[in-house]
Amino acid sequence: MTLVVARLTPLGVRLAADMRITDPDDVRPQGYLGAALKLILLSPTLCIGYAGCRGAALKAIRQVASKGLDADEATALLLDAHLRSEQAAEFLIASLRPLALVVVKEGRAAAREAGWIGDHAAFTEYQRFYLQERVVWPRDYYDSDERAGDMEIAARMTDGMEAVVNGPGLVRNGETTTVSIPEGGSHETVGEGIVYVVPRAEDNLFKYSEFGRFTTSRFGSDTFQYWLLASDQPGVGAIGLYFDEAQLGLLFAPLLLDDPELLDNPRRYPSQSKAAFVERVRQQHGISLQGLGR
């Protein structure tokens, strides 16, 4: 399945999701080459996350995009898709203007302060780490109470998703904190990269967070490094993953790539430097990717 979570904050909505795709006929997950973008930006103020039946979910999200629907209209269409799929496709709809978070699952659409879809066991672990005690920066570190509240939620969501997808690095038990090297998550249906959708600091419009990460290698060394790159403009539903050791770029853009009837498979850019990958994406699709190290 997957894990997709979202929560209202004093500055908007924050969302996070893993990228793993599992096939009941495969012994192992499909890995990064078969991963998918499960948080799709349709505009600077509207984001839709999905879990479950990928085909039915993507078809519905593409209909929302092609029709230019607002959040309420999108909710109605996605609830219909959820019911038509016999509840196999689940959705989160996050809107900034007006501010709203709607969860579509279990046969209904409901407004929530916080919501999730996907693997229940993974969410239970996520919630445990989200709620654990943690160090909070002093209020005067931020420019407003709203920013302080938003950033605390961001840190807690990161704690939860990192623990579920990559394994916990810090485990707190009362006053005792144990440091460990993350060795991967324990949920078969949740894994690969983590994608975060956040309100930008300068204008509170939706964008993907960029980051770099060292993780377990599939390329012959003990570890490998990859970068999540995102558009420098808000509301663009595309990200890039670049793997240094493999010199491989992957572009995830489900509203722009492939035949609409096909699933969201990444477009591969092999034997490319990171700069060359970024430039080819810009030339082919008009998307300017950026990230750490760029």
State pLDDT tens for residues 241-258: 999 989 999 999 999 876
pLDDT-above-90 percentage for the chain: 68
Domain ranges of the chain: 3-210
Report field, pTM of the whole predicted structure over 0.85? yes
Least confident of 101-105, 131-135, 281-285: 131-135
| Choices 3.40.630.10, 3.60.20.10, 1.10.10.10, 3.40.640.10: CATH for 3-210 | 3.60.20.10
Q: What value does the mean pLDDT take over residues 110-128?
A: 96
pLDDT tens for 188-222 read 889 888 999 999 988 999 999 999 887 765 444 56
Cα separation of 42 and 3, whole Å? Answer: 20
> What per-residue confidence (pLDDT) applies to 31?
86
The model's confidence at residue 23, banded by pLDDT at 50, 70 and 90, is: confident
Mean local confidence (pLDDT), 22-51: 88
